[in-house]
Amino acid sequence: MAVYLAVCAGLSTLCLLIATVFLVVTLVELRKASAALQEFVERLEDKLDVLHAAVDALKGLPNELREAASRGGHMAAGILHGIRDAFFKPAPGRDDA
């Protein structure tokens, strides 16, 4: 009976030792993973700052494009009216202005 209890105590101690080693190895890997994750987040934050600056620069682009198209349309209309007025005379008795 004493031998049986000694074997059980030895196996219990061995299991506890194995569990402790496994826990230590897991914690070391967790520390490495958290350090890698922290480095990744810092690099991502830098890239997000660049992306945020680019998005801020592009925010006014639709309005600028709309204004440029409007100015281009007005200029084209002015050129066409100038060509019409220069080359085509209105019919007598007709006022197109």
Per the domain annotation, does 68 fall within a domain? yes
Asked if residue 93 belongs to a domain, the reply is: no
Quick check: is 96 in a domain?
A: no
pTM: 0.47
Question: DSSP secondary structure string, 51-69?
Answer: HHHHHHHHTTHHHHHHHHH
Q: How many domains in the chain?
A: 1
- The pLDDT tens digits for 13-53 are 999 999 999 999 999 999 999 999 999 999 998 888 888 88
Is residue 12 domain-resident?
A: yes
Q: Is residue 97 part of a domain?
A: no
Whether residue 95 is contained in a domain is answered as no
List the domain range (segments joined by +) for residue 19.
2-87
Residue 35 falls in which region: left (phi positive, over 0), alpha (psi -120 to 50) or beta: alpha
CA torsion sign for 65, 68, 70, 73 is negative
Assess if residue 72 is contained within a domain.
yes
Say if 92 falls within a structural domain. Answer: no
Q: Mark 63-77 as b/e (b = at least 16 C-beta within 10 Å).
A: eeeeeeeeeeeeeee
